[in-house]
Amino acid sequence: MLDFYELLSLVKKIVSGDITGHKIEAFPHTNIDKLSFDTIPTATTLATGEMRWNESEVCMDIGEPNGGALQVGQEFRLYAKNVEGFQISEGQIVYVFGASGTNVEVKLADASDYSKSICTIAVATENVAINGNGRFTTMGFVRALNTNGWTEGQFVYLSATPGMMTNIAPSYPNNKIKIGVVTRENNVNGEIYVRIIPEVRKFGDIINGNYSGFEDDGTLVNYGNSTTYEDLVAELIGKKLESPSSKITQDTAEGTVVYSSTCTLADYIVVNSQMSHKWKMGSDIHPHIHWHQAQASIPNWMIQYRWQRNGQPKTTAWTSVKMNTNAFTYTSGTLNQISGFPAITPPENYSISDIFQVRVIRDTGNASGLFTGLDLYTGSVSALSYDLHFVADTLGSRTEYTK
């Protein structure tokens, strides 16, 4: 506590501006109504912890380590630890990697890595050494950058090059993270106003590769388990029958095609299916046939198939496959059944609008040699339709004939 004479001496020094080495530890009255700062201060570098009015930015500056200053109300900082394994340089972009004790840990963000980009948090305000702590701007100005060739007012984005920013929005599937806007174009004293805004393009279990995503043109695409199955239906009724001895007939009243119990490989129906614009190109297709079962045994269904590709020579050879050996349950009466054929992988480079040709056959005598024995189904069999299931990864195609 100061006595009267010491207090009087201190007041004189304050009035004269000479208060070097003095600190007021206590006064009887500690309430302060306001503090007034010189609004046109002398332009000197602030030491750490010092404060003054910033006339050009119309705010208070607080001195920070390494000569920087925090502009109160206009900037926000993150004090974090660099665990990248090398120096993080001023102007590089970081994401939250983790934490140890009271230290937030950061590494360089990367637009090509979903987990790194979605956690983007700040831009380095200074060089930060390996395992050192430093200042990162979460919102506000970052200065002394090379923004040469960029346009003031232009958005900048997180780059697919770790830690870097670019004035060109990254293309899908890279994530689109707005870092801020260019406020000064200069190769040495360029400025960016940081305001990080992720533009979400992917939804779902992204880390495991199962998600839906919007591409640059707005196209919705499905990946992994987010894909769906579609059915490409080809009715058999009304199709031309290749059956020299009329062993295949059409029951138009029932809407079915009837295969007799003495069909051979010469008896078939040809079905052409144009690959859907929704099809995930290159993925397996799954042919199957719908038919009526009226007795406990199972007919020998088979197909012969070939692909016809647009702009390519005609394919003449057929490939034969038999139905899968499914376990059918039969009690009595007439049941609707599905016989599936093995999954078929299309030849390389086959695309939407290519034609998948199929012959639908009942091989009663096992002339193909694909079955373990003769067709034990003693009567005629009615077939309703032939279909193929396919994996869909888009709502359609971007152009008329290509994905």
For the chain, 403 residues long, the average pLDDT of each consecutive 10-residue run is 51 52 52 78 80 82 80 87 96 95 94 93 96 94 93 97 96 93 95 94 87 86 90 92 95 95 96 94 95 92 95 94 81 89 93 94 96 93 95 89 83
Residue 41 belongs to a domain: no
Domain that holds residue 368: 228-392
Residue 117: its pLDDT value, please? Answer: 94
Residue 399 belongs to a domain: no
Angle at 257 between CA 251 and CA 263, to 5 degrees: 120
Angle at 339 between CA 337 and CA 345, to 5 degrees: 150
What domain count does the chain have?
3
Which tokens in the block code for residue 172? 């899908």
Which tokens in the block code for residue 165? 């920013």
Residue 400 belongs to a domain: no
Q: Are residues 192 and 142 in the same domain?
A: yes
Q: pTM (2 decimals)?
A: 0.65
Cα separation of 277 and 152, whole Å? 43
Q: Are residues 378 and 264 in the same domain?
A: yes
Residue 223 belongs to a domain: no
Cα separation of 202 and 190, whole Å? 33
Residue 98: its pLDDT value, please? Answer: 94
Give the CATH number, domain containing residue 320: 2.60.120.260
The answer to whether residues 387 and 233 touch, using CB atoms and an 8 Å cutoff, is yes
Per-residue HEC secondary structure of 41-87 comes to CCCCCCCCCCEEEECCCCEEEEECHHHCEEECCCCEEEEEEECCCCC
Q: Are residues 237 and 363 in the same domain?
A: yes
Q: Are residues 118 and 19 in the same domain?
A: no
Q: Are residues 232 and 361 in the same domain?
A: yes
Which among 177, 13, 45 is positioned nearest to 109, based on CA atoms?
177
Residue 210 belongs to a domain: no
Residue 212 belongs to a domain: no
Q: Are residues 239 and 386 in the same domain?
A: yes
Residue 49: its pLDDT value, please? Answer: 80
Give me the amino acid identity at 147. T
Q: Are residues 183 and 126 in the same domain?
A: yes
Cβ neighbours around 317 below 10 Å, total: 6
Q: What is the DSSP letter of 225?
A: G
Residue 4: its pLDDT value, please? Answer: 46
Residue 271 belongs to a domain: yes
Q: Which of 202, 218, 253 finishes a domain?
A: 202
Q: Are residues 187 and 142 in the same domain?
A: yes
Cα separation of 300 and 316, whole Å? 24
Residue 58 belongs to a domain: no
Order of strands, sheet of 59-63, starting from the edge strand that comes earlier in the sequence? 51-54, 59-63, 69-71
Q: Are residues 192 and 246 in the same domain?
A: no
Residue 91: its pLDDT value, please? Answer: 95
Give me the amino acid identity at 367. A
Q: Are residues 266 and 386 in the same domain?
A: yes
Q: Are residues 265 and 353 in the same domain?
A: yes
Residue 193: its pLDDT value, please? Answer: 96
Q: Which of 184, 202, 220 finishes a domain?
A: 202
Q: Are residues 232 and 381 in the same domain?
A: yes
Place of tokens 């939804």: 203
